[in-house]
A and B are shown apart, each in its own frame.
Chain A
Amino acid sequence: MSQAFGIVNFAGNHIQVDGLQDYRPVGAFSFLGRYRVIDFPISNMSNSGIDTIQIYIRRKPRSLTEHLGTGRHYNINSKRGRLHILYTESNMVSDLYNTDIAAYIENLDVIERVPQQYVVITPSYMVYTADYSTLLQNHIDSGADITLMYHAVDNAKDNFLSCYTLEINKQKGVDSVTPNRGNAKNKNIFMDTYVMKKELFLDLVSKAHKMSAMYSLVDIIDESCHDLDVRAVPHRGYFAAITDFNSYYEANMSLIDLKNAMNLFVNDWPIYTRTNDSCPTQYFETSNVKSSVVSNGCLIEGTIENSVIGRGCVIKQGAVIKNCVISSDVVIGKGVHCENLVVDKHARLIRGKRVIASPDKPGYIKRGDTL
């Protein structure tokens, strides 16, 4: 059993995914057809032997709590382990006050009661796989106060703009944690992933709470860089941050390439999700599917190219789907041509024969809409 408990944090105020986020938090977004974004951080913890996991929910809890359920599908020990769903949103005057620190303060007693000595904190809006048991061991061996995980990228000018970056010195120490201003290509993107002692975590939370009502954990850590031993550890493999509509679309599209996907879905590191008991997908004589990721339970008669198809979709004869991310239980009617779209759950595209957005600005079809 791990010496650490886990926290899966919600996406802060700076993260805004237009459309999809009106219905659910980023963690509950459908991802690559059969998953939800939050399946990745929870599976990482479960596979790392962390079985006391706190999930913080900020707003619109329904779809996330429904998906998490008892947490049994995450392969957490059903007696010793626990998936703990914690809420915030206690009549905040403004959403600006609704920070992670506010959520931790509200649940302080719950955190204090956890017996584990360390905490691993991860975000619910990033997709990656990482072994936290190694990360924790490195942290303990290094004697550092705080370990932060980052991913070095070379496209930070136009991407990861809502993420934070780490300024790292030659001794692998962190000098500062600041927002990515898009002023350089090469940046160390902070993965919102922290390891520290529970005691220190609680100290920082109360300190932040006293300093500013709008502080996040990342702000207080930036302030503490010079007083504490804060170190950075690089991450390798697939990494995506779902911080806006485009990054959600791009993250899905990037995983259509199986070679790319194998950097995320590594051997012996299962990604758990809730089963839907849907049957296999049926392809009919007229189907024509290429370069796509398809989930179970679909009935496919039409053409699909370079797209992600969720569970239980019906693609009728003559329909053409290109460069789309389709959520579950969507119907694309006879002869309907869709391109560059994100189609939310239960939508039915049956009447409009051409629903085409531009490739650099994909379109969004609302949940349950009939077109």
Chain B
Amino acid sequence: MKQNNMLAMILAGGRGTRLHELTKKMAKPAVSYGGKYRIIDFPLSNCANSGIDVVGVLTQYESIQLNSYVAVGRRWGLDAKNSGVYVLPPREKADANLDVYRGTADAISQNIDFIDTFSPEYLLILSGDHIYKMNYAKMLAYHKEHNADATIAVIEVPMKEASRFGIMNTDEETGRIVEFEEKPEKPKSNLASMGIYIFNWKLLRKTLLADIKDPESNHDFGKDIIPALLNDGKALYAYKFKGYWKDVGTIDSLWEANMDLLSKNNALDLHDPTWKIYTEDVTSLPQYIGSDAKIEKAFITQGCVIDGEVKNSVLFTGAKVAPGAKVIDSVLMPGAEVAEGAVVTRALVADDIKIGKNAVVGSADSEHIELVAKRVKGEE
């Protein structure tokens, strides 16, 4: 907490319903991405790299894996004195019934006591669902520079897609937010909220306490808190972020985000030694590439054994491609195995799923990416 007086809270309770079987027993932030990572490694590593020492992770939906995963703050170097990752699922309190988090703002409200123990000056609110690299220290500097009450990170999206996002209408000269519109039919700007907020804690605390009592409220940052602050004439600024940012809400977008890693000099640049993304340390072997292997444009991590053909694909820890098998335009999640002669095209094979001998999965001209979440039997 010493470093910059800013505490981070990551909203990680999302179900990620549109990821289907991938999030059946696991919250979306715990879903694997990019060969060796989980989505939540990105905000956590960003915090660690930005000099933030204390991170609260608000979990709710299917949180067993996520809770145990983030509890080991050592993975992101968040384990020094006065530093740590705190897992915060809903809890029973003396003066209230046990209740789930009713919205993003409610999740913070229910943990006001936790935040108060650190008495931070600033509170950083993050989403556990997004893939991006961002220096929050720079955003905080911007927030201070503008004497803002709150700062919201925004990214320019194509105008025709703007109606899918929460849009910030700003004063072009100052960057001050004049209006916020949630998924507007006729957007006036293309600055989409990234769900990343810096608040002056004292002000947010007061606003949240008022929000709890409001029976009409959805207890949501976008729907309630931001509009309330704007109504009160508070100084809200938009911090423009340039770089890779992706919300992987669907199987198609999760696949796409993985494919993005295949191009040379891609914008996410996971190779950058100055901004590493940290994750669980696994003990598997290095990659074993067999004598008949053929690899063309691929992102492959340790523990993989490749004896077949891999083209334009991302392979996660321990994935195996047997001799004569083909994996094209696909993603093999951790432990997925493709047996002899099987062909996988435009598919996302879920964790530990086995594709049997000579089986054919997915097709080159499908509209959507095929999610393979059950074992595919092959020839005996």
List A residues at the B interface (Cβ < 8 Å): 32-34, 73, 258, 261, 265, 270-273, 275, 277-285, 287-297, 299, 304
Contacts and interface: CB of A to CB of B under 8 A. Distances in A.
A306 to B, nearest CB: 9
Contacts of B279: 277
Contact of B291 (A288, A290, A297): A290
A197 to B, nearest CB: 32
A269 to B, nearest CB: 10
A281 B297 contact: no
Given A281-B301, A293-B286, 11 more contacts: A33-B286, A258-B305, A265-B285, A275-B281, A277-B276, A279-B35, A280-B270, A283-B296, A283-B299, A285-B296, A296-B302
Nearest to B264: A284
Contact of A289 (B34, B262, B293, B315): B293
B286 A32 contact: yes
A281 B283 contact: no
Task: Determine which residue in A34, A289, A297 has the highest number of CB atoms from chain B within 10 A of its CB, and name it.
Answer: A289
B357 interface: no
If over half of A's interface residues share one DSSP class (helix, strand or loop), that class is named, otherwise mixed; here it is loop
Contact of A258 (B262, B270, B283, B288): B288
Nearest to A301: B264
A283 B297 contact: yes
B71 interface: no
Contacts of A73: 281
Contacts of B288: 258, 261, 293
Given A280-B36, A285-B297, A294 B286 contact: yes
Contact of B289 (A270, A282, A285, A289): A289
A33 B298 CA distance: 19
B334 to A, nearest CB: 12
7 contacts: A265-B285, A281-B287, A283-B298, A283-B310, A291-B291, A293-B285, A296-B302
A273 B302 CA distance: 13
A291 B289 contact: yes
Given A280-B300, A283-B297, A284-B264, A291 B290 contact: yes
Contact of A279 (B262, B277, B285, B293): B277
Nearest to A294: B287
Contacts of B285: 261, 265, 293
B355 to A, nearest CB: 20
A152 B142 CA distance: 69
B271 interface: yes
Given A277-B276, A284-B297, A290 B290 contact: yes
Nearest to B297: A285
Contact of A293 (B271, B287, B297, B301): B287
A299 B271 contact: yes
Interface in B290-335: 290-302, 305, 310, 314-315
B278 interface: yes
A12 B290 CA distance: 37
B325 to A, nearest CB: 16
Contact of A283 (B286, B295, B305): B295
B267 to A, nearest CB: 14
A256 to B, nearest CB: 8
Contacts of A33: 286
A295 B287 contact: yes
A304 B277 CA distance: 28
Contacts of B295: 283, 287-289
A287 B297 CA distance: 8
Contacts of B262: 282
Interface in B135-165: none
A282 B285 CA distance: 17
Contacts of A284: 264, 297
Contacts of B305: 258
